[in-house]
Structure 1
């Protein structure tokens, strides 16, 4: 996130604060401010004077701010108290709880994604699940922070979640034992045939360095070189733009990585490969990038950059489609404005807003028995109320691609389980590297 001096926001707050707190009529207020602010203040006065119960100023002002930002896009928000603390906790990457990313969807708590290896992930919570009850208490209609507070708790304690899942007729309960969530941004494994699998779970500080360290460790364990790399960005909700650039720079010797274009002259920025590391640290070996509907923001920047430069084959499912940049503007010690200030574009000039990144080879997650049913109702940027509309309408075409069935992928979850395959997308990527690795290298 970028931090900017909140001049425009501060001016707005000052304008509101300078309006006299009297029972002056609409005409008197209108002479001091614009007609729109005059309407707002007149309604504020009526609520203060005539609502059935007394209402504190902070409740009304916060409601007005939230309503104003909700009229913009799903990612602009006013953060204070618990909401700001929750954001800071997620940035720190360490807390006690379930390990899921959730958001409100018409009053319901919807799972965006469980973090890999988290208690929720191990208990079988899936992206797209609706959490209706926590320990038997209905959470529909609650503020998101209150619902999250009920799910959080000391490590070692259990919580019962009632889930509604697309494809199942009835809600069902899942018991999850809370744990200490210490998100590991980067993990890696060496597979047969000298293939490295590097999983990037979030774009927090030093991810570029961590991936470089992972690559060096994999090389060392395989006698100094690798035959190919799978860069796994599935279920990665994003994070730092700078780290997305740093990661892309590892595998690109030159050229543009991403551009950020905003409303003001200083909001347009171009990020190029700077060869902080000497050229392509992978020395041209083939790379497959795995993405899915949970790959968002910074993940899409990396996938788009490597795809446009033909440095990697992108495989999996269409990504989330969050092509906007948010700036966090501190307003006070315990309050901040998270405001959408720009859109980003891949090197070829594509905006992934709404449409996301379409993989070069679409590979469904056949090993998940509910994946196909959930995919029809999966939550992406284009499903969010008030999302920014792409300049080029790609959503309908890409949604149609999501519905198509590839005749190559017909194995059932039961058949894959008999073969010992728990992650079909990863298995298919590794098979592809073993079978066509030299051709993929020549493609670059």
Structure 2
């Protein structure tokens, strides 16, 4: 009776305007569906074969509602929200995987450097099919995350599926994942900077690493910034990293639902490298914050980008705590990222100036659409909003052939070649022997190799 009374009062408040009543129809339909949800929950509670946990059911419904929006919107229960805050602080316990969900399957976005998963050979695009012998199909990212985490020193057995290969069972020993997001070393006359993730410490660590390399080699002639298999992280860290190489100009903009919902982020004066040539290395495991940095430095003509087209995760997730976090939080997509030239990253990714595969197998992945692992592969992915599309299957411009020394990192070697040419691709030295070159305009939809492609290579665990 009380529900009927409330509805009646609402109808009186609307008055006699037919237009007003019509405008409320979607809202009334929402109320009707919410009431139906309550009815279903009551039926399950009363009639299901065994007693049920209503909290668990409601949390599953919230997760289902969020994931129906796009692959990156989700509901985080209180524990998962706490885990998220712990990971972005730069240290946590787990096996070192950044994972996401697609079509009821949990996939690896990227393994973390020097983590249990990374050392075991887990690669971007691998599907987690079982954990400790239990089928993982249909589990949420939060549920898989909970199973992968545990006491330091304990082990978890994970079965991975990879295109073209038999299922692979791997025993991973959990350890403290202390994320050293930036490492660096000298490569002859050049500095090599590796960023594995973007967390609260990345900007500071990058500054310290650049200063150390300057002391070790006062006559440095340029830098390689390696963002391969970096699944992203904090926007603020991406801005700090971009700013380290820029004197001025826009870094990235984000645009929401309304035309006026635009935020722009610009560089502050002060290039830590003194304007030396920079090459950015990316691949299909470079996502989100990595793409912001690569796009900013490319559009501002501050760096040459080498490697393979990045993942294409160009959407902004805002984490909104519920009741101060006691009821968890929503991670909801609120905007898209755009590079300084106005190009959308979403579903498209950042295309390299010099397209180079690391191996023959990696070249075959790009040449065959069924093996390309990217944002565009998600059925529920947010569109790019500008009508552009990701480049389809093709043979990369360069790839090492069967005679190339597999112990050498071909993409890194070509990045160093670009630096030796002062960043001018027209002056680039010829590729070494054993390398397959595809002439512009002669790209094939598929390489002639008969064997199956095998890969070379938003949530850490």
TM-score bin, normalised by smaller chain: 0.7 to 0.9
* Structure 1 residue aligned with 2:209: 214
Report SS of the residue matched to 1:395.
coil
| Separation in structure 2 between the aligned mates of residue 209 and residue 127 of structure 1, nearest angstrom | 27
Please state how far the C-alpha of 1:439 moved relative to its aligned partner: 4.1
Report SS of the residue matched to 2:415.
helix
| Separation in structure 2 between the aligned mates of residue 438 and residue 107 of structure 1, nearest angstrom | 44
* Structure 1 residue aligned with 2:193: 198
CA deviations over 1:49-82 (Å, ceiling 9, x no partner):
4343265654454344334323322222222223
Equivalenced residue count is 406
Please state how far the C-alpha of 1:145 moved relative to its aligned partner: 2.7
Please state how far the C-alpha of 1:208 moved relative to its aligned partner: 2.5
CA contact (8 A) 1:26 1:38 kept: no
Please state how far the C-alpha of 1:42 moved relative to its aligned partner: 3.5
| Separation in structure 1 between the aligned mates of residue 175 and residue 416 of structure 2, nearest angstrom | 32
> Is 1:287 matched up with 2:294?
no
Please state how far the C-alpha of 1:404 moved relative to its aligned partner: 1.8
> Is 1:262 matched up with 2:256?
yes
User: 1:166-181, aligned counterparts within 5 Å?
Assistant: 166-168=163-165, 170-181=166-177
> Is 1:409 matched up with 2:399?
yes
CA deviations over 1:402-443 (Å, ceiling 9, x no partner):
x2243x42423x7423xx31x221122123323x13747999
| Range moving further from structure 2, 346-355 or 242-251 | 242-251
Q: TM-score, normalised by structure 2?
A: 0.80
Q: TM-score, normalised by structure 1?
A: 0.83
Please state how far the C-alpha of 1:349 moved relative to its aligned partner: 0.9
* Structure 2 residue aligned with 1:343: 336
Cα 1:208–1:48 shift into 2, 3 Å:
closer
| Separation in structure 2 between the aligned mates of residue 26 and residue 43 of structure 1, nearest angstrom | 17
Please state how far the C-alpha of 1:188 moved relative to its aligned partner: 0.5
Gaps of 5+ in 2: 14-23, 429-461
CA contact (8 A) 1:303 1:357 kept: yes
Report SS of the residue matched to 1:437.
coil
User: 1:118-137, aligned counterparts within 5 Å?
Assistant: 118-137=115-134
Cα 1:196–1:57 shift into 2, 3 Å:
same
| Separation in structure 2 between the aligned mates of residue 123 and residue 296 of structure 1, nearest angstrom | 22
| Separation in structure 1 between the aligned mates of residue 9 and residue 116 of structure 2, nearest angstrom | 55
CA contact (8 A) 1:331 1:337 kept: yes
Aligned partner (choices 310, 316, 319) of residue 307 of structure 2: 316
Cα 1:60–1:164 shift into 2, 3 Å:
closer
Cα 1:221–1:48 shift into 2, 3 Å:
closer
| Separation in structure 2 between the aligned mates of residue 74 and residue 183 of structure 1, nearest angstrom | 25
Aligned partner (choices 390, 395, 419) of residue 433 of structure 1: 419
CA RMSD of aligned residues (A): 2.9
| Separation in structure 1 between the aligned mates of residue 81 and residue 248 of structure 2, nearest angstrom | 38
Please state how far the C-alpha of 1:352 moved relative to its aligned partner: 0.9
CA contact (8 A) 1:286 1:441 kept: no
CA deviations over 1:209-263 (Å, ceiling 9, x no partner):
32222111111101x2311100011111222222222221222222222122223
> Is 1:114 matched up with 2:124?
no
Aligned partner (choices 174, 178, 186) of residue 182 of structure 1: 178
* Structure 2 residue aligned with 1:44: 37
User: 1:328-339, aligned counterparts within 5 Å?
Assistant: 328-332=319-323, 333-334=325-326, 335-339=328-332
| Separation in structure 2 between the aligned mates of residue 221 and residue 124 of structure 1, nearest angstrom | 32
| Separation in structure 2 between the aligned mates of residue 195 and residue 441 of structure 1, nearest angstrom | 20
CA contact (8 A) 1:29 1:38 kept: no
| Separation in structure 1 between the aligned mates of residue 64 and residue 174 of structure 2, nearest angstrom | 34
CA contact (8 A) 2:312 2:345 kept: yes
| Separation in structure 2 between the aligned mates of residue 438 and residue 262 of structure 1, nearest angstrom | 35
Cα 1:63–1:36 shift into 2, 3 Å:
farther
* Structure 2 residue aligned with 1:5: none
Cα 1:261–1:50 shift into 2, 3 Å:
closer
User: 1:226-375, aligned counterparts within 5 Å?
Assistant: 226-264=220-258, 267-275=261-269, 277=270, 280-332=271-323, 333-334=325-326, 335-366=328-359, 370-375=361-366
| Range moving further from structure 2, 24-33 or 70-79 | 24-33
CA contact (8 A) 2:248 2:267 kept: yes
| Separation in structure 1 between the aligned mates of residue 427 and residue 127 of structure 2, nearest angstrom | 45
CA contact (8 A) 2:253 2:265 kept: yes
* Structure 2 residue aligned with 1:8: none
Report SS of the residue matched to 1:89.
helix
CA contact (8 A) 1:82 1:145 kept: no
CA deviations over 1:378-397 (Å, ceiling 9, x no partner):
4321122322111233325x
| Range moving further from structure 2, 91-100 or 143-152 | 143-152
Please state how far the C-alpha of 1:29 moved relative to its aligned partner: 10
CA contact (8 A) 1:153 1:178 kept: yes
| Range moving further from structure 2, 246-255 or 355-364 | 246-255
| Separation in structure 1 between the aligned mates of residue 419 and residue 206 of structure 2, nearest angstrom | 20
Please state how far the C-alpha of 1:202 moved relative to its aligned partner: 1.5
| Range moving further from structure 2, 113-122 or 234-243 | 234-243
Report SS of the residue matched to 2:399.
coil
Report SS of the residue matched to 2:335.
strand
